[in-house]
Chains A and B, each alone.
Chain A
Amino acid sequence: MKIRVRVNGQSYESDVEPRKLLAYYLREDLGLTGTHIGCDTTTCGACTVLLDGKAVKSCTVLAVQANGRDVMTVEGLEQDGQLHPLQTAFWEEHGLQCGYCTPGMLMSGYALLQDNPNPSEEEIRRGISGNICRCTGYVNIVKAIQSAANKLADAAEESGDSAKEVSTSGSSSD
């Protein structure tokens, strides 16, 4: 079956078997191996991607169901060679050990911060409750997401300040 899917901003046209799962389509057909397959039974969340902006387990969505829709994978976080602040925070806070769950944790963390830019520790823990870390490194994962929330808030404030500066300078030149 022919499908057209937008992945990380790029459009792809593919011919897939209806039974192919989105996770396998991303990895095998598009070569986007950042999305990991862990349990393959809708439990672990290693395969988490965003489908039309919502975090879902891509082992439990058919590739044909993504037809005409927008997918974001962990490869879509980095922009112009710059890691996303969430990725930097995982690095700095040591939010990964073996790294297998990390792409899923990043995508769930990303979706959480989109909906709730300033989550409490409990909200973070609930937000990643569909993602299992078998190294049990949750403490640092939570810290990393908290740190990313702060980074993003600071960045938003800075851009707000610079916008203000612009308007101030604009008015002073009047």
Chain B
Amino acid sequence: MFPNSFEYIAPKTLMEAIELLKQHGYDAKVVAGGQSLLPMMKLRVAAPSILIDINNIDELKGWRNESGYLRIGALTRHADLEHSEELREQYPLLAETAVWIADPLVRNLGTVCGSLAHADPGSDWGAAMLALHAQVEVAGPEGKRQVPIDDFFVDTFTPALEETEIVTAVLVPTPVGRVGGRYLKIERKAGDFAIAGLAVHVSLASDGTVAEAGFGICACGPIPLRGKRAEEYLLGKKLTPETIEAASRLVPEDAEPADDLRGSAEYKRDVLRVFAKRGLSDIAKELQGEVVLR
């Protein structure tokens, strides 16, 4: 299978890439890992006449700590976060999520930011970045801007990007306190898209109350969704069997699953409830010892 013919350009700077987008608009596509775009091009679902490969742009490579946040550059691969031991303590959800994406071969090429820009409702990173309250950094002819993750997913496969803009990084706020993260996913077979998935992020203040709570819902709506009700409920409370139970019942209320071949809407809602309970219970055990949940 071959894509339609296209012109291939691999610029070395971000400015050149944006200039190319200005010239070619919707005829152009940006490729990083290419693990969603190339299959779409092979199926001729996407048929750009210009392919802009950003892999040679050094400033987009890798992740680094900056003041107040972790900056994950546009060329950071899923595998980079899966194996980043340095990020385990402060950003456990990153590796927890990465390992669930596709398979090791795809994870070696596919990128976090590419996955966000693709805006698939079944995107594991979409759910994780919602839970982490991330910002998406976007560059265009007028410079850079930051888009809160809640505003980034406009609709299925539609991100809040102008035709001349490129996602350059995703910025994850540095959490305060002790941090726990879990990604829970049910799939038909190893490496598949989720039937339903849930990203859970919690940080505890020194008095044991919840300082930050994040729930990102995957594959249960037209875009990745935030479990807002459960987040608001948990803030300032301690993780106890009662609060965990109550929060886990609130998560499905923010989901909009559809009946499909993967399962009924009712089933997916219940999966989300179970995932929230499991995720929170695991995090409580990890952060508080065995005291709370005997």
Contact = CB atoms under 8 A, between A and B. Distances in A.
A19 B34 contact: no
A127 B104 contact: yes
Question: Quick one: which of B7, B102, B105, B106 has the most chain A CB within 10 A?
Answer: B105
B219 to A, nearest CB: 19
A54 B34 contact: no
Nearest to B2: A19
Interface stretch (A40-48, A147-155, A162-170): A40-48
Interface stretch (A57-65, A83-91, A94-102): A57-65
A32 interface: no
Interface in B1-33: 1-8, 10
Interface size class of A (residues with CB under 8 A): 20 to 34
A67 B56 CA distance: 11
A45 B103 contact: yes
Contact of A18 (B51, B79, B102): B51
Interface string B130-169: 0000000000000000000000000000000000000000
A71 interface: no
B108 interface: yes
Interface of B: 1-8, 10, 34-35, 38-39, 41-43, 51, 53, 55, 79, 102-106, 108-109, 190-191
30 contacts: A1-B8, A17-B5, A18-B5, A18-B6, A18-B7, A18-B51, A19-B3, A19-B5, A19-B41, A24-B2, A40-B42, A41-B39, A41-B42, A42-B35, A42-B38, A42-B39, A42-B106, A54-B109, A55-B104, A60-B34, A60-B35, A60-B109, A61-B34, A65-B53, A111-B104, A126-B104, A129-B191, A130-B104, A130-B105, A130-B191
Given A60-B106, A65-B53, A127-B104, 14 more contacts: A18-B7, A19-B3, A19-B6, A20-B2, A24-B2, A48-B105, A54-B109, A57-B105, A61-B34, A64-B53, A108-B105, A129-B190, A130-B106, A131-B103
